[in-house]
Amino acid sequence: MGTSRTGAAGAASRISVSRTGRSAPAPRTGRKTPLSVVQPKSLPLNEILLGDCIANLEKLPPESVDVVFADPPYNLQLEQALTRPDQSLVDAVDDDWDKFASFADYDAFTRAWLSAVRRVMKKNATLWVIGSYHNIFRVGAALQDLDFWILNDIVWRKANPMPNFKGRRFTNAHETMIWASRGADSKGYTFHYDALKAGNEDVQMRSDWFIPICTGDERLKDENGRKVHPTQKPEALLARVLLSSSNPGDVVLDPFFGSGTTGAVAKLLGRNFIGLERDPTYAKAARKRIDAVVPLDDASVSAPPEKRTEVRVPFLSLIEGGYVKAGETLVDERRRHKAVVRADGTLALGPIVGSIHKIGALTQGFPSCNGWTFWNVERDGKLISIDEFRTKVRAEMAA
C-alpha cells in the first residue's frame, strides 16, 4: 500500500494530496484569494487555507475556535477495485489521500493533527470526528491518549446506504461520530439540549441519527458528471452538529474541508468557518459552493434560551404576583389529581405538605415530577398551566 500512494517514481512530488497531512508543494494561485496559502496574521474567518493541514493549524492563534468538525481519511485499505454483480465499477474511495503505509503511520498522523487541533480549541470548545469501522476506534483511542474527554458517540444511520455487493458481510449502513470536549475539566461547552428536544417532538434527541447520504442536487459534480468528492457529507448531518454545539457568530474549524459542506452549512446558519484543504480542485469547488449560499436571517438561527440558564422563579412569586391565590386548587391536565395552594408557596395533599414538584410526584407515585408543567389552575372553565404564569413573572423581572 505504501507504493500505491505515489504511483510512478517521482510522482509524489507533484501530487497535492488533500487530507493526509503529508508535505506537498503549495499550489500556485497567482493572486491572493480566499483560497489562501499566505501566513494568516489574524484569524482567517470564512477562508479556505490551501496546503498541509497540520502546517496551517500551526499558523492559527491558540484557543481561537469554538467547535471543530473533522472528517479525516478513513484508511479503507482497499486492495483492489470494487465491482457490482454486473461487473460495473463501484465509485469507491481509492484516492491517494486515503492510503497509508501502515496502521502505525495512520496513528502517528492522527495524533499529530489531533494535537494541533487541541491547541487552537478554546477551553470550552468541542470536537466532532466522523469515521467508519476502519478508523474510528483508532481515532477514539488517540483522543483519550491526548486527554480529550469523550461526551458522546453518535451513530449516523444512513437511510440509503450502499449495499454489500459480494454478500459476505453486513451492509455498512452507518458511520460513527465522536463528540469530545478539550478535557475532563471543560464544563462550559455549548449544547442546545432544549432546542434539539423541541425540534424532536419534545423528546430528548437520541444518539442515533437517521439521515440520508448526500445525493441529488446537493452532490457536487464535475463537468463530466462525476462526483467532485467521494465522501461528501450531507448538509443535514452538519446542520444538526452545528445547531447542537455552536452559536451564531462562532468559529467552526474543519481541518479536512473537502467539498466544503461544513463551510456551506456554517454560512447558512450564521456561523464563521475556517477550512483547511490540500487539493485545489476540492477547494475551488467548495469556494464556489459556499459563495452561492444565502444565510438565513437571525431569527431563524438564534437558539432559544436554555431553561437551565433562565432566571429561577419560586412558586411563591406567583402567589405574591396575584396569578395564583392561597387556598386555590391545582389540578393536572386530566383533572385526576388535586392539591391545595398554601400561603407559603407549598402545596397540601391531605396532611402532606411539599413543593409543587414533590406533591406532583407523590400524587402520581413517581420518584420525580416537573410541577411547573404538571399543575394547572382553572380560569373561566379552562385550564391554564402555571408555567404560563412563571413566564410572565420572568418577563416582569427582566423589564
Model pLDDT for residues 76-118, shown as the tens digit of each residue = 654 554 444 555 544 444 555 446 778 888 999 999 999 999 9
Q: How far is CA 25 from CA 10, 12, 30, 241, 276, in A?
A: 13, 10, 14, 33, 15
Which pLDDT value is given to residue 308?
Answer: 67
Tell me how far apart the alpha carbons of residues 147 and 142 are, in angstroms, rounded to a whole number.
9
More confident residue, 22 or 132: 132
Look up the pTM and report it: 0.68
Which pLDDT value is given to residue 11?
Answer: 30
Which pLDDT value is given to residue 21?
Answer: 38
Which pLDDT value is given to residue 35?
Answer: 53
Mean pLDDT of the region 56-69? 96
More confident residue, 310 or 367: 367
Q: With bands split at pLDDT 50, 70 and 90, how would you rate the model's confidence at 26?
A: very low
Packing angle between helix 261-268 and helix 280-291, nearest 10 degrees? 20
> pLDDT tens across 301-342, in order?
887 767 666 788 999 999 999 999 999 999 999 999 999 999
Cβ proximity of 389 and 324 under 8 Å? yes
More confident residue, 269 or 186: 269
Mean pLDDT of the region 361-388? 95
Which pLDDT value is given to residue 23?
Answer: 34
Neighbours of 30 (CB within 10 A): 6
Which pLDDT value is given to residue 218?
Answer: 82
The answer, yes or no, to whether residue 391 has pLDDT greater than 80, is yes
More confident residue, 198 or 385: 385
The answer, yes or no, to whether residue 226 has pLDDT greater than 90, is no
The answer, yes or no, to whether residue 8 has pLDDT greater than 60, is no
Closest CA to 124 of 63, 59, 195, 61: 63
Q: With bands split at pLDDT 50, 70 and 90, how would you rate the model's confidence at 4?
A: very low
Q: How far is CA 298 from CA 55, 263, 267, 271, in A?
A: 35, 18, 12, 11
The answer, yes or no, to whether residue 33 has pLDDT greater than 50, is no
Neighbours of 291 (CB within 10 A): 12
Closest CA to 146 of 180, 115, 120: 115
Q: Please tell me the least confidently modeled range out of 8-22, 52-66, 80-94, 367-381.
A: 8-22
